[in-house]
């Protein structure tokens, strides 16, 4: 396998953009990424699009050539990957594999979702299609209610407290407030976070990520060719995708995600690092409990200790291991199909020391964890300075 580098990255702002359609968002991110990597469209040899539910949100399927041709990329394989909220994380994994294996040299990945054109109830229904529609979803569950059950069980088994969940929200809001591209730039207090409008007990409004429009893009190339394009390549040290049951009721335990543990194990091995080496991370905080469990499944802390870990401040920008300096899905926004690649873009910003006000001092080894559904897909990527 060849060493692979991210040679270009670009994102739109995340938010609710009633005047923007899916394609214009994807094209904006793609063009910023091409410019950032000094890559011409004709140099792209393979194109991936991560998108969860374009057909349901905006009535458009067959999205990969729809976007690639709008970017001036013609003829090459253009492939859409759908893996719920891990759609573009998975696309990134497959793009990496193509370059690492020597199939292609210059590969582009765009992630995009346009969600706000649908009313909230319909958004919940579309998201629910990433769960088991013949079981849990048929019984009336939404993702908020599934993660509420997960949170309740984590509280029962490990003594996790509401304050711990809220500490995730407070931290990610504080980070999002410094991110000019974040959807939610509002600092909140612990008291506010604990008293948000109820959604699915014990989760309230501040425990839930946002409904967003947005896109993100990266270009990968062999490390040995990176200098042709950029003086700021970022190395992909490890990346792995793993899977598990879609339905919560099929899992042995609902407070740990085997797909995360397996993907992390493979990514660490590939990168030749351990959890302890990871300096900072972008984790999939679709709900606050998900970030807490991720810190456990990734081995940052022991199982059950994720709540006290975030509450003690270890994951703030000035803590021992900053998590979600972008604001995370909670404050940056969560355009589902864009999230995986957006996490990569956020690692790249930190590693390149271009994160502005939210730049952290130790930024040479970062990890992104992108979760699909309630854990049926996970992609873990480890990036470092080249």
Q: Binding residues for a second copy, per CB under 8 A?
A: 21, 23, 47, 52-53, 55-56, 58-66, 68-69, 74-84, 90, 93-94, 97-98, 100-103, 126, 129-134, 240-246, 250, 258-259, 262, 372-373, 376-377
CB of 359 to a second copy, least distance (A): 33
- Mode of pairing for the β-strands spanning 46-50 and 107-114: parallel
CB of 176 to a second copy, least distance (A): 27
Q: For residues 291 and 182, give the distance between their C-alpha atoms in angstroms, rounded to a whole number.
A: 18
Q: Active-site residue among 94, 154, 164, 334?
A: 334
Q: Answer whether 161's CB lies under 8 Å from 155's CB.
A: yes
Encoded tokens for 122:
């319909």
List, in sequence order, every residue forming a beta bridge with 179; answer none if it has no partner.
none
Q: Is 334 a catalytic residue?
A: yes
Residue 352: burial class (beta carbons within 10 Å; 0-12, 13-18, 19+): middle
Report the length, in residues, of the chain. 386
Encoded tokens for 6:
């991210």
- Return the residue matching tokens 């063009």: 31
Backbone angles phi, psi at 6, to 5 degrees: -80, 120
Q: For residues 116 and 20, give the distance between their C-alpha atoms in angstroms, rounded to a whole number.
A: 10
Q: For residues 239 and 73, give the distance between their C-alpha atoms in angstroms, rounded to a whole number.
A: 26
Q: Answer whether 26's CB lies under 8 Å from 110's CB.
A: yes
Our CB check for a second copy shows the closer of 4 and 351 to be 4
Our CB check for a second copy shows the closer of 53 and 188 to be 53
Our CB check for a second copy shows the closer of 103 and 205 to be 103
Q: For residues 306 and 292, give the distance between their C-alpha atoms in angstroms, rounded to a whole number.
A: 5
My answer on whether omega of the bond before 202 falls inside 30° of 0, hence cis, is: yes
Kindly report the number of other CB atoms within 10 A of residue 152's CB atom.
18
Region of 3 (left: φ > 0; alpha: ψ -120 to 50; beta: rest) is beta
Run of H or E including 173: helix 162-176
Our CB check for a second copy shows the closer of 61 and 189 to be 61
Q: For residues 225 and 6, give the distance between their C-alpha atoms in angstroms, rounded to a whole number.
A: 11
Q: For residues 184 and 346, give the distance between their C-alpha atoms in angstroms, rounded to a whole number.
A: 16
Encoded tokens for 186:
């509002």
Encoded tokens for 363:
């930024």
CB of 119 to a second copy, least distance (A): 18
Q: Active-site residue among 33, 85, 208, 286?
A: 85
DSSP 39: -
Instruction: Give the active site residues.
Output: 85, 334
């Amino acid at each position: 396998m060849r060493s692979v580098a991210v040679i270009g990255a670009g994102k739109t702002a995340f938010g609710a953009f009633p005047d923007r359609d899916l394609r214009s968002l994807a094209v904006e991110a793609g063009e910023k990424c091409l410019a950032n990597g000094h890559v011409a469209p004709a140099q792209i040899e393979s194109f991936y699009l991560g998108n969860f539910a374009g057909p349901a949100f905006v009535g458009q399927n067959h999205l990969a050539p729809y976007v690639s041709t709008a970017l001036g990329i013609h003829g090459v394989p253009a492939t859409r990957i759908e893996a719920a909220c891990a759609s573009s994380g998975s696309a990134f994994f497959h793009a990496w594999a193509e370059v690492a294996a020597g199939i292609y040299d210059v590969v582009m990945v765009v992630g995009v979702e346009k969600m706000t054109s649908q009313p909230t109830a319909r958004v919940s229904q579309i998201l629910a299609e990433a769960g088991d529609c013949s079981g849990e979803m048929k019984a009336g569950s939404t993702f908020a209610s599934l993660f509420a059950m997960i949170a309740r069980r984590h509280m029962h088994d490990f003594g996790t407290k509401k304050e711990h969940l809220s500490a995730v929200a407070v931290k990610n809001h504080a980070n999002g407030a410094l991110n000019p591209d974040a959807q939610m730039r509002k600092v909140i207090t612990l008291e506010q976070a604990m008293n948000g409008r109820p959604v699915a007990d014990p989760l309230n409004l501040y425990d839930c990520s946002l409904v967003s429009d947005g896109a993100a893009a990266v270009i990968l190339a062999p490390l040995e060719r990176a200098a042709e394009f950029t003086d700021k390549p970022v190395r992909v040290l490890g990346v792995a995708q793993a899977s598990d049951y879609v339905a919560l009721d099929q899992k042995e335990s609902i407070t740990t995600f085997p797909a995360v543990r397996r993907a992390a194990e493979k990514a660490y091995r590939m990168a030749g690092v351990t959890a302890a080496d990871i300096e900072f991370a972008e984790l999939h905080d679709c709900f606050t409990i998900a970030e807490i469990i991720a810190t456990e499944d990734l081995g940052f802390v022991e199982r059950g200790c994720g709540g006290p870990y975030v509450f003690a401040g270890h994951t703030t920008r000035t803590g021992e291991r900053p998590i979600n300096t972008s604001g995370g899905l909670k404050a940056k926004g969560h355009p589902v199909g864009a999230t995986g690649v957006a996490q990569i873009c956020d690692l790249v910003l930190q590693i390149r020391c271009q994160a502005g006000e939210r730049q952290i001092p130790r930024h040479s080894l970062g990890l992104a964890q992108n979760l699909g559904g309630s854990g049926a897909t996970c992609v873990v990527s480890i990036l470092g300075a080249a």
